[in-house]
Amino acid sequence: MAVSLWKSLLQTTKSRLFLQRGVSLYNGVHGFEEEAIKKKLQQFGGGSINLSKEDHGIRVLTLNNPKQMNAFTGTMMLELQERVTELENWKDGKGLIIHGAENTFCSGSDLNAVRAMSSSEDGMNMCMFMQSTLTRLKRLPLISVAVVQGKALGGGAEFTTACDFRLMTPGSEIRFVHKQMGLVPGWGGAARLVQIVGGGAALKLLSGALKVDPERAVHLGLAEETLPSSDETRSLEEAQAWLNQYTKAPAEVIQAVKKVVTAGRELQLEAALRAEKDIFGTVWGGPANLQALAQSTKHK
Ligand SMILES: CC[C@@H](C(=O)O)C(=O)SCCNC(=O)CCNC(=O)[C@H](O)C(C)(C)COP(=O)(O)OP(=O)(O)OC[C@H]1O[C@@H](n2cnc3c(N)ncnc32)[C@H](O)[C@@H]1OP(=O)(O)O
């Protein structure tokens, strides 16, 4: 009796914990020294992570380091964590579009920083820092779409998997180049890629460091579609129109929808059912539910 009670308590805690805002995957127990790595990352400046004002519940996050093909500098990694915290606290949020400045997505870590942080301790701390931040990004109660223009390489390819969906422009490319650097993904990209395309396809993309163009990405289920335009402004407008199809409801409903899907993606069945029950309780009898009940129930 005591054991099963303890197990159920543990499951309930797990199903609630993973939805908590700002929870890092790692702590001192795993050897993660967050303050130390933040200090180290601060030494590698350049670029920025910009977040637009909200427009109908949708914001645009821009990886902005065009001089280096939007490579992630140390300070951009720190700014990404700050933007994710901002988004976790955005009460009216429904959707997030992520793109790179000047018509290319992201060419991964800033290789200058990588060369300077080649110690095992720095590498592992950067890995745990980025895994935590991208896991929080993926778990945001928002529908997120990466608009891939130009190239998404290495950590940039991994970043696309931390979004719910990917839309690609003509001629763009997602490529997990890690093998060619004697590496494997370190920002959580391998685990998420297996979830998205399956183990077999993931193994081919990683072991072959294969270039994934829009056609192959759609075929694999890695991308939803190829956008008509490769122009930066037009493709963002097309992505916004695509996302608008899925955010036509009050923010609390869209957020609850993403949360139940995240529970289904990440938890064992019984824990996912408990999480779904808890989330259902937040919208049952809520303003959107009562308003819908007061109107005709015919769904066009
Ligand atoms: C966990 C994964 C993570 C890690 O292991 O830490 C990584 O992501 S490692 C990095 C993986 N990414 C790469 O290896 C990509 C390297 N870059 C390229 O292959 C090419 O630059 C490109 C992206 C294919 C573009 O090629 P091209 O169009 O010919 O432009 P340039 O090569 O001349 O680049 C323009 C400019 O940008 C600088 N640049 C590009 N990528 C990076 C980068 N990842 N880090 C730092 N700087 C980068 C490049 O050096 C050029 O600058 P200048 O030489 O000053 O003109």
Indicate yes or no: pTM above 0.95: no
172 lines ligand 1 (CB under 6 A): no
4 has a pLDDT exceeding 70: no
Give the domain ranges of the chain: 26-248, 252-293
68 CA to middle of ligand 1, Å?
A: 6
69 CA to middle of ligand 1, Å?
A: 6
8 has a pLDDT exceeding 90: no
109 CA to middle of ligand 1, Å?
A: 8
Q: What is the structure's pLDDT at 84?
A: 98
Res. 2 pLDDT band, cuts 50 70 90: low
188 lines ligand 1 (CB under 6 A): no
71 CA to middle of ligand 1, Å?
A: 7
Q: What would the pLDDT profile of 185-199 be if each residue is shown by its tens digit?
A: 999 999 999 999 999
Res. 289 pLDDT band, cuts 50 70 90: very high
157 lines ligand 1 (CB under 6 A): no
Task: Select from 110, 159, 117, 121 the least CA-distant residue to 34.
Answer: 121
Task: Select from 148, 95, 83 the least CA-distant residue to 258.
Answer: 95
Residue nearest to atom 29 of ligand 1 (CA): 69
Instruction: Answer for the pair 253, 57: CB distance below 8 angstroms, yes or no.
Output: no
Res. 7 pLDDT band, cuts 50 70 90: low
Instruction: Answer for the pair 114, 132: CB distance below 8 angstroms, yes or no.
Output: no
Among the residues of 199-250, which ranges form H helices?
A: 199-207, 214-220, 232-244
Residue with the two structure tokens 């308590």: 9
184 lines ligand 1 (CB under 6 A): no
Res. 298 pLDDT band, cuts 50 70 90: confident
Residue nearest to atom 26 of ligand 1 (CA): 69
* Dihedral, CA of residue 78, residue 230, residue 223 and residue 94, to nearest 10: 60
Instruction: Answer for the pair 263, 279: CB distance below 8 angstroms, yes or no.
Output: yes
Q: What would the pLDDT profile of 124-177 be if each residue is shown by its tens digit?
A: 999 999 999 999 999 999 999 999 999 999 999 999 999 999 999 999 999 999
Q: Which residue has the higher pLDDT, 296 or 90?
A: 90
Give the mean pLDDT of 260-274: 96
63 lines ligand 1 (CB under 6 A): no
Task: Select from 44, 42, 181, 38 the least CA-distant residue to 113.
Answer: 44
Q: What would the pLDDT profile of 14-59 be if each residue is shown by its tens digit?
A: 556 566 677 778 887 778 888 888 999 999 999 999 999 988 899 9
201 lines ligand 1 (CB under 6 A): no
Among the residues of the chain, which ranges form H helices?
A: 2-17, 34-41, 74-88, 111-116, 120-138, 155-161, 189-197, 199-207, 214-220, 232-244, 251-266, 269-283, 287-294
To test the ligand 1 pocket, which listed residue (68, 124, 175, 187) has its Cβ within 8 A of the most ligand atoms?
Answer: 68
246 has a pLDDT exceeding 70: yes
Q: What is the structure's pLDDT at 159?
A: 98
What distance, in Å, lies between the first and last C-alpha atoms of the chain?
50
Q: What would the pLDDT profile of 188-242 be if each residue is shown by its tens digit?
A: 999 999 999 999 999 999 999 999 999 999 999 999 999 998 899 999 999 999 9
187 lines ligand 1 (CB under 6 A): yes
- Taking the CA of residue 151 as reference, the ligand 1 atom at the shortest distance is 23
Please give the angle made by the CA atoms of 17, 18 and 24, to the nearest 5 degrees.
95
Instruction: Answer for the pair 108, 177: CB distance below 8 angstroms, yes or no.
Output: yes
Kindly give, in sequence order, each residue whose CB lies less than 8 Å from that of residue 88, ignoring residues fewer than 6 positions away.
21, 22, 136, 140
Question: Would you say how long the chain is, in residues?
Answer: 300
Q: What is the structure's pLDDT at 17?
A: 58
41 lines ligand 1 (CB under 6 A): no
Radius of gyration over every alpha carbon of the chain, rounded to an integer in angstroms: 20
Does the structural domain 26-248 have CATH classification 3.40.50.300? no
74 lines ligand 1 (CB under 6 A): no
